């Protein structure tokens, strides 16, 4: 999935320039242009930009900012941002899967250590959280073949059918 993202991003880079300074624009001429572009990309309100830069760019007003927005490619920036967030999203998915792996691993270790006849409640709760984690991982990852083995390990061969959908 990330490979696909990277190749798409390379395509994107070929598209066009992102910033075409206009010599008549006081924002383009100012040393703060990149900082202001960044704020615009982040969707900050004009009033915030004006408040921050009014001393550095005398007479800065909403019209200046509105005109300046035409001087760099917002759509492209938006697309870049989209891919960026998509990548961050992918990392979050990886984090979730890791957390689920940890839950599965811990639950299994615990189940192996306790005797279900001695601690039926703890067994039940742990089994339930284990199955929940497995199911969630299965939902996130689609096909993966770990489930059956884990179920066999907990319930033994004969009972594994019952848990499958």
Chain contacts with Zn ion (rule: CB under 5 A): 22, 25, 27-28, 68, 71
**Smallest distance, Å, CB 36 to Zn ion?**
9
**Smallest distance, Å, CB 137 to Zn ion?**
49
Question: Which is nearer to Zn ion, 72 or 134 (by Cβ)?
Answer: 72
Question: Which is nearer to Zn ion, 37 or 107 (by Cβ)?
Answer: 37
Phi, psi of 72 (to 5 degrees): -145, 155
CA distance 26 to 131: 61
**Smallest distance, Å, CB 73 to Zn ion?**
12
CA distances to 27, 31, 33, 38, 56 from 51, in Å? 14, 17, 15, 15, 10
**Smallest distance, Å, CB 100 to Zn ion?**
48
Question: Which is nearer to Zn ion, 27 or 151 (by Cβ)?
Answer: 27
Question: Which is nearer to Zn ion, 37 or 147 (by Cβ)?
Answer: 37
Structure tokens at 39: 């704020």
Strand blocks (E) in the chain = none
CB 155 within 8 A of CB 163: yes
CA distance 30 to 110: 63
């Amino acid at each position: 999935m990330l490979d696909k993202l990277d190749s798409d991003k390379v395509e994107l880079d070929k598209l066009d320039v992102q910033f075409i300074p206009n010599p008549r624009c006081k924002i383009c001429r100012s040393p703060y242009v990149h900082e202001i572009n960044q704020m615009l990309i982040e969707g900050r309100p004009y009033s915030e930009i004006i408040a921050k830069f009014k001393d550095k760019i005398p007479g800065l007003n909403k019209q200046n900012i509105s005109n300046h927005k035409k001087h760099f490619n917002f759509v492209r920036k938006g697309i870049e941002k989209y891919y960026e967030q998509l990548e961050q999203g992918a990392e979050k998915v990886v984090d979730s899967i890791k957390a689920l792996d940890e839950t599965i691993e811990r639950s299994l270790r615990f189940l192996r250590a306790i005797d279900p006849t001695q601690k039926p409640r703890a067994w039940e709760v742990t089994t339930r959280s284990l199955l929940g984690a497995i199911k969630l991982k299965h939902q996130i990852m689609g096909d993966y073949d770990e489930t059956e083995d884990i179920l066999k390990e907990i319930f033994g061969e004969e009972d594994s059918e019952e848990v499958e959908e």
